[in-house]
Amino acid sequence: MTDPADDTTDFGYQRVPRGEKSRRVGAVFDSVADNYDLMNDLMSMGIHRLWKHFTLELAAIRPGERILDLAGGTGDLAAGMARRTGRSGSVVLSDINGRMLARGRDRLADAGVAGNLEVVQADAEALPFADASFDLVTIGFGLRNVTDKPAALAEMKRVLAPGGRALVLEFSKPAVPGLDKLYDLYSFSVLPRLGRLVADDEDSYRYLAESIRMHPDQGTLRSMMEDAGFERCGFHNLTGGIVAVHRGYA
């Protein structure tokens, strides 16, 4: 349980003042933005595309729906959503980091995804949208970087229309015996070296590995979603629990 008097939070394995985390996370993503898509492919050996495809299938998007993609980065999920909801619907691609958001906007424009897409720079903890504005809210590989996760989940619930659904795609805790040791070896030996060789930034990728270990496990995150007011919460483990997709309904 968090001590109310403790005004610090995790930044990887470090403890930092709560007000400092967003600045440090911002610096990480400013650094990795230019190589973000390439590094995603290298780090996951392309499997991140399957995780995102599964998330889109689980979303069961219908034409005409209003969708918000938080921490949307370079727009992988938003592109798939825009195709599924069609011209009669709308997708808001949102991220707190302006550099990541600019790359996402340019990437989607180059891919011809523009007609039903809006780009908004926003903090997931204080969304600039009215109550019940969306049918679906997603956050992919972004919740672990949020300083106040309960606040972000509460905001996701607030902006969902009654019956709307939320999806959280995030790294989680391996559920296959022995996989955690292999995963740790890969995360702390291979990923920082890849970061150094490809992006000339070992520290940012070490932080990313550490932030995964500090993120709530599957059951804890499900409880956090329930505490935020979501109903029928559950999760699907992918790749042995290395990644999980949580779903809840408003």
Binding site, annotated residues: 74, 95, 123-124
For tokens 């940012």, the residue is: 204
Report yes or no: 248 and 143 within 8 Å, Cβ to Cβ: no
Q: How far apart are CA 101 and CA 95, in angstroms?
A: 6
Residue 229 is given by DSSP the state: T
The whole-angstrom separation of Cα 203 and Cα 113 is 34
**Separation of CA 206 from chain center:** 18
Cβ 47 vs Cβ 229: under 8 Å: no
H/E stretch holding 248 = strand 243-249
The Cα 213–Cα 205 span in angstroms is 13
Q: Please provide the DSSP assignment of 113-168 as one string.
A: --TTEEEEE--TTS--S-TT-EEEEEEES-GGG-S-HHHHHHHHHHHEEEEEEEEE
Intra-chain end-to-end CA distance of the chain, in Å: 26
Identify residue 13 by its one-letter amino acid code. Y
Q: What pairs with residue 166 in β-bridges?
A: 137, 248
Residue matched to tokens 């399957």: 50
Two tokens, residue 83: 């195709």
Residue stretches of the annotated binding site for S-adenosyl-L-methionine: 74, 95, 123-124
For 22, 214, 215, 245, the CA distances from 13, given in Å and listed in that order, are 15, 7, 11, 24
